């Protein structure tokens, strides 16, 4: 509600001085809608503000039709199409208009995850910066466990992520909770799941899968190559020893150059089992040549059972190891896989199962209680 004096000033400035609505509003310190309401009550302006015709209006039907057929068409291409049909507006204004008219993808429905008390807990490491201890600067890490039902939080700080501290965190959390959840969720899979989004292909960054034998490095590498093939990329899978032997067997510079281009061509090159067999100087030079040709152009997916510090054992008496590792790890995603060999675990389970079966068969042959049988063997009677 405004005063009669202010209302009279608005009418005087508009009628006598011919000021615009915006000028009156800024000079009197009121909102422009207040000025319009006063003028509309006095019959000086139309209460419904008329909209100016837009240059795009004759083309709206065409824009909606094109976006309906091609919802992902770029605004710049659509702008060129309407320009050819007579539109003279600015491209920035047109781009904002297209953003409003572009069909939205249908919303996805999600079910809210609900858990029972004691059913599930989530476990992860959290980073809290660094702290100076003596002359060393150490990372501050927190073991975190959260109960999914109550969201009760347990935190215990450590100076590293060693398995011993990881297990100590579990024990302390279980003691604090007075029990343990039936299922524990870990975030170890996130790094692998991000790899299958294939962002490393567009970034031309290598992927290095490191870990002991039998933890699934080759399976992950093959699945990455297969997933890349499904989305239209080219991929080649080969063991490192087979690749180096193939290159070393080429006679003459021309044959070697053609074979190098053969391995340079695919979008993804998977080199499996680096480090299982030692390589000579010539083999190291050939591998360095492959890595250098693909460096920052096309990614390499590499599996190895050796940490980088032990690569001198794989390539003894070679001077290019440092440069080779430098090019491989630059902008690379390094995945360290730990755990027991699944082959050894399956063999152990099979052995235990067979031992149980043999024990059951022996128990089945044992005679009933109270009856005995004497086993006879060849030789003298006693």
* Mean per-residue pLDDT of the chain: 82
Residue 219's pLDDT is what? 81
Residue 382's pLDDT is what? 33
For the full predicted model, state whether its pTM sits above 0.85: no
The answer to whether 285 and 315 have CB atoms below 8 angstroms apart is no
State the architecture of 192-336 in CATH terms. 3-Layer(aba) Sandwich (3.40)
189 has pLDDT over 70: no
Residue 295: alpha-carbon gap to chain centroid: 22
Residue 155's pLDDT is what? 94
Per-residue pLDDT tens digits for 14-44: 878 888 888 988 888 888 888 888 888 887 7
As a whole number, mean pLDDT of residues 92-99 equals 86
Residue 10's SS3 state is helix
The distance in angstroms from the start CA to the end CA of the chain is 126
Q: Is the dihedral of CA 239, 241, 245, 247 positive or negative?
A: positive
Residue 207's pLDDT is what? 93
d(CA 116, CA 114): 7
């Amino acid at each position: 509600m405004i005063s009669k004096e202010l209302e009279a000033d608005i009418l005087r400035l508009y009628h006598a001085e011919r000021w615009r609505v915006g000028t009156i509003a800024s000079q009197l310190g009121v909102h422009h809608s207040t000025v319009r309401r006063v003028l509309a009550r006095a019959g000086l302006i139309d209460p419904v503000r008329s909209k100016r015709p837009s240059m795009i209006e004759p083309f709206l039907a065409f824009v909606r039709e094109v976006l309906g057929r091609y919802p992902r068409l770029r605004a710049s291409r659509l702008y060129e199409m309407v320009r050819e049909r007579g539109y003279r507006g600015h491209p920035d204004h047109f781009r904002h208009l297209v953003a409003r008219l572009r069909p939205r993808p249908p919303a996805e429905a999600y079910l809210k995850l609900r858990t029972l008390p004691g059913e599930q807990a989530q476990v992860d490491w959290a980073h809290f910066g660094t702290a100076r201890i003596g002359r060393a600067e150490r990372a501050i890490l927190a073991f975190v466990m959260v109960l999914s039902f109550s969201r009760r939080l347990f935190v215990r700080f450590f100076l590293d992520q060693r398995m011993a501290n990881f297990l100590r965190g579990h024990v302390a959390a279980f003691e604090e909770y007075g029990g343990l959840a039936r299922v524990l969720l870990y975030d170890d899979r996130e790094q692998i799941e991000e790899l299958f989004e294939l962002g490393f292909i567009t970034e031309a960054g290598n992927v290095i899968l490191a870990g002991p034998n039998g933890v699934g490095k080759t399976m992950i590498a093959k699945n990455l190559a297969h997933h890349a093939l499904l989305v239209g990329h080219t991929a080649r899978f080969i063991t490192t020893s087979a690749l180096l032997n193939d290159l070393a067997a080429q006679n003459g510079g021309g044959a070697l150059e053609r074979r190098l281009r053969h391995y340079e061509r695919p979008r993804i090159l998977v080199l499996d089992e680096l480090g299982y067999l030692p390589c000579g100087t010539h083999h190291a030079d050939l591998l360095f040549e492959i890595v250098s040709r693909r460096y920052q152009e096309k990614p390499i997916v590499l599996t190895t059972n050796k940490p980088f510090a032990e690569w001198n054992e794989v390539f003894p008496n070679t001077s290019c190891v440092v440069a080779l590792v430098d090019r491989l790890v630059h902008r690379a995603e390094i995945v360290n896989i730990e755990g027991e060999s699944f082959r050894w675990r399956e063999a152990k389970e099979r052995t235990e199962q067979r031992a149980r079966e043999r024990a059951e068969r022996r128990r089945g042959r044992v005679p009933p209680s109270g009856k005995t049988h004497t086993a006879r063997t060849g030789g003298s009677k006693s």
